[in-house]
Structure 1
Amino acid sequence: MNNLFRPRPDTRGETMQVGIIGIGRMGRELARRLKDHVELTVFDRDAAFLAAMQNELGLPAAGSIDELAAIGTVILAVPDPEVINCIKDFNQLKTPVTIINIATNVAQHVLEETAVPPVRCINVKFVGHAGEMSLGLDPVVVIDSRPAELVPVAREIFSVVGHVVVGKADIVSFINTTAAEKALEAAVHIEESLRQQGVTDPDIVKSAIRQVAAGVLKAYADQDLGPFARQIVRAVRAKMKK
């Protein structure tokens, strides 16, 4: 990965028009961050959920993918299995549209193999978590380096979402899966270790995981560990070398 870009203001004369399909946890947070940066239109198959989002953020909603295609640039914030079906739906319209996929586990080559011109696709993936983003933390946004002509468009849109990097976006799947697996292994291990010591109160277990463990991980990431925690890190590293 290379070319780190910091958020920058939109200096163009016209505001870019962008559509979002899917307003779940990540789509909703993305909409919050983009709504003052681009002219945003949202779409979701759940009509009640869509209406609630409109009321919350005051955003216009599209009635169909035909309306979204007319916008020209569409972000797919849908679960992995739905990405391919969405692209195929746009293929059938035979309308020029740029699709930006943010689903972590869909590879760039899969997008390219699925899209039929004039539909074009690029991956933009987050090293981040929707819950943490909702608290104000910025993710690292990895824009795939191909197709090269779509990189400036993606960079312009996502410059206000987080710290933008252009590179191989598919590596985010490994990064996020590794981080999630190791974190959940630790949580399960903590829960089991406490149970073996007779600690079963759910509030205590939750606090141990959510406050102590998660707090220490954040302090480690921010290089802000105390002496006791630094000693544990040294011991862990020494054990790993054996």
Structure 2
Amino acid sequence: MKIGLVGIGRMGRVLAGLLAGQVDLVIFDRNIEKVEKAAEELSVSTADSLEEMAELGIVILALPDPEVVNCIKIFNSINKNVIVINIATNASQDMLNSIADSHVKCICAKFVGHAGEIALGHSPVIIVNQFPVELVAQTVEIFQLVGQVIIGKADLVYTINTVAAQKAIEAGVAIEEVLKQNGVSDPGIIKSAIGQVAAGVMKSYADGTLGPFAREIVQSVKHKKETKSL
């Protein structure tokens, strides 16, 4: 299966690494140095233009949402049938449908995951949009190579990732403030407390592998929340 990937930023580079060797991947990015380096490291082909990418028939866009719009408009101007798979969290299915011409078919496949964590080998969940129905099976086939695929409303990923990011940042800020209130001001200690202790505990909580000490804290936190709600 020959697939194009436009965008070799953080998520695009990670996705390219996961797909390379499993599909016949062709990559494109306006940053020539970046795309040539990725192609050499991954042993994949490159394209010189979006026109070349359209020739492939299936193109994944790993771009910020304004650039997703620009790419689709360029594909509109090219007289080629092309399937566009968007992974940008902020680019909605309705928006893509509203700007794409009839020969440009669009579907969203969005990641509940973090590029850095995926690069370390953690498998993401990818929500493939349930519409257009005729594009779902092929999109699922591609992204099953990358992580766990769920068919549903891909635009929910915006809410999921926003809530997760906001609460994580709130936790990090709170940890820093409380440590400083307790006389801990060393930047290295604070960084380790947030990046290792807190992050590790959150992963264990998600995986259901917390130790006895952390499980006691969970029960305490839940008890406080229940008490406040009464």
Range class of TM-score, shorter chain: over 0.9
Unaligned runs of 5+ in 1: 1-15
Matched, 1:228 2:220: no
Matched, 1:108 2:93: yes
Give the C-alpha shift of residue 22 in structure 1. Answer: 0.3
Give the C-alpha shift of residue 228 in structure 1. Answer: 1.7
Give the C-alpha shift of residue 159 in structure 1. Answer: 1.1
Letter in 2 for 1:81: P
CA distance in 2, matches of 1:224, 1:148: 38
Which 4+ runs in 1 deviate beyond 6 A? none
Letter in 1 for 2:162: T
Q: Which digits, 9 at most, give the CA deviation of each residue in 1:189-221, with x for residues without a partner?
A: 111111222212111011000110001001101
- 5 Å matches for 1:26-65? 26-65=11-50
CA distance in 2, matches of 1:61, 1:163: 27
Q: Could you say which residue in structure 2 is the equivalent of 1:211? A: 196
Q: Could you say which residue in structure 2 is the equivalent of 1:95? A: 80
Matched, 1:140 2:155: no
Unaligned runs of 5+ in 2: none
Letter in 2 for 1:139: P
| Alignment size in residue pairs | 227
TM-score after normalising by structure 2: 0.96
Q: Kindly indicate whether the alpha-carbon contact (under 8 Å) linking 1:94 and 1:117 is maintained by their aligned counterparts in 2.
A: no
Percentage identity across paired residues of the two chains: 55
TM-score after normalising by structure 1: 0.92
Q: Which digits, 9 at most, give the CA deviation of each residue in 1:31-88, with x for residues without a partner?
A: 1111112110000001111111122112111000010000000000011221111111
Q: Kindly indicate whether the alpha-carbon contact (under 8 Å) linking 1:76 and 1:103 is maintained by their aligned counterparts in 2.
A: yes
Where is the helix percentage greater, Structure 1 or Structure 2?
Answer: 2
Matched, 1:238 2:223: yes
Superposed CA RMSD in Å reads 0.9
Q: Kindly indicate whether the alpha-carbon contact (under 8 Å) linking 1:94 and 1:119 is maintained by their aligned counterparts in 2.
A: no
Matched, 1:193 2:178: yes
CA distance in 2, matches of 1:54, 1:84: 25
Q: Kindly indicate whether the alpha-carbon contact (under 8 Å) linking 1:20 and 1:75 is maintained by their aligned counterparts in 2.
A: yes
Q: Kindly indicate whether the alpha-carbon contact (under 8 Å) linking 2:24 and 2:44 is maintained by their aligned counterparts in 1.
A: no
